[in-house]
Amino acid sequence: MSPSPTRTTWRTHYALAVLAVIYIFNYIDRLLVSILIEPIKLEFGVSDTLIGLLTGVAFALFYTVFGLPLGRLSDRIGRKPVIALACIAWSFMTVLCGVATSFTMLLIFRIGVAVGEAGGSAPSVAMISDLYPPSQRSRALAVFLMGPALGAVFGLGMGGWVADTYGWRWAFIIIGAPGVLLGLLLALTVRAPNQIKSAADAPQESFLTTFNSLISTPSYLLIVVAGSVAAIAGYAIGTWNPSFLIRSHDLSITEAGALMGLGGGMTSVIGTLTCGWFADRMVKKNTGWQLGTALLGTAISIPFGLLFFLWPAGTAFYIAGTAVPTAFLFYLGFAFFATWWTVPCFGSMSHLFPPTKLAQGTAIFFMGITLLGVGLGPLVVGVLSDLFALTIGTEALRYALASTIGILLIPCICLAIAIPKYRDQVDGTQDELPDAVATI
């Protein structure tokens, strides 16, 4: 287990705030391409399958290859320099996406974004675990893990408006540039936790020895599988939802971006914060709730997701002249609960591993999420959409997305099996599963 800091100060919260903003821009840059799919397809004349390659497999492979080495580097030299340099790198590559003159060039620059982002996420989670004691860790991670939701708010909302107003290229340039300044802000103004220094001075194991010790940890592989499979559905839906609203509900790019960003994104923010509060509260009663919270939220999200994609087209009401589809109301319920696996699973790492292995353990988790989630999610939906189009026509994307909801049953099963293993390692108790979890 990671040693606990004795107290938190304003510097602790400032460091969390800077890391949280960086993570928001991490996801802005990652998700921005999803709202730009239609104009990119139009300019370069590519299929949904190739778009799935751009947004999924290519990004995921390079993120995975560089994730563990950069996590290992941050365990050795400290989290802050790795995060700062990574932020500057991925932001610069996002800007370059705006000057791509061919689909191949755009693909290369997106690979550059993936390499940069590989050095940001896992070290950030490890740094927050170094900053906060266990009793506050889930809430601190909840603030940090608002990044995907707030990234959707700004990336999809602002990206759609910029693309409609100035073109898709300027969306990459305008939205990517601020990340360079954020990387410098972290490097120059944030004080690294003392735990990192002691971790860096500790005897270093070989890569293979560390890897074997991580994957042999009870419950860890189940947590990795649960998060990775949940991410398949999450990234598939996040990438293709704007196109679904455009194709099946006749919304414009700006309207789809506003609904997904402001409506879905803010609901996800509230859901993430609620999850962090709920997990910290329930873990005091039973440590099994660290993963039980993830199981509960994921299970509840499944029916909301199915209703969203299968509900027929129709308008519930108008907001500022924008038609809000009736189906979108179900998406709000899905967005609230679908993120509940993130905070508890990431938080569990700090209870399973010491600081000398924490970033590496978190990096493997991120690698699974990225390789399967980012890699397979968008691509599978793209392939299914192209196949279904042969018989279903314009509604092909609707059923391709609905097909991904069923796989959320897999993380539910993995988490249910992992709960007693995790609880036994953390506190050695043989208590029964949390009541609400046992009934699922």
Domains along the chain with CATH numbers: 10-191+210-438 (1.20.1250.20)
Structure tokens at 255: 């309207």
Calpha distance 106→196 (Å, rounded): 37
Out of 46-60, 169-183, 198-212, 249-263, give the one with best mean pLDDT: 169-183
Which one, of 410, 409, 402, lies nearest residue 380 by Cα?
A: 402
- pLDDT given for residue 206 in this prediction: 66
Identity of the residue numbered 414: C
Helical residues (DSSP H) of 194-265, grouped into ranges: 194-201, 207-215, 220-249, 253-258
- pLDDT given for residue 121 in this prediction: 83
Confidence at 428, pLDDT banded by 50, 70, 90: low
Helical residues (DSSP H) of 36-192, grouped into ranges: 37-44, 48-52, 58-77, 79-97, 103-117, 121-131, 134-144, 147-166, 168-176, 178-189
Phi, psi of 431 (to 5 degrees): -65, 165
| Inter-helix orientation angle 289-310/266-283, to 10° | 150
Which one, of 341, 333, 339, lies nearest residue 306 by Cα?
A: 333
Q: What is the mean pLDDT of residues 255-274?
A: 85
Q: What is the mean pLDDT of residues 210-220?
A: 82
Place of tokens 């999803």: 34
Calpha distance 49→54 (Å, rounded): 9
* Residues 284 and 428: beta-carbon distance below 8 Å: no
pLDDT tens sequence across 30-46: 878 878 888 898 888 88
Nearest 5 degrees, angle CA 161-CA 246-CA 312? 140
pLDDT tens sequence across 92-139: 999 999 999 999 999 999 999 989 998 888 889 888 888 888 777 888
Range from 38-42, 71-75, 177-181 carrying the lowest mean pLDDT: 71-75
| Inter-helix orientation angle 58-77/207-215, to 10° | 110
Structure tokens at 182: 């954020």
Out of 172-176, 244-248, 297-301, give the one with best mean pLDDT: 297-301
**Other C-beta atoms within 10 Å of 65: how many?**
14
Note the pTM of the prediction, 2 decimals: 0.73
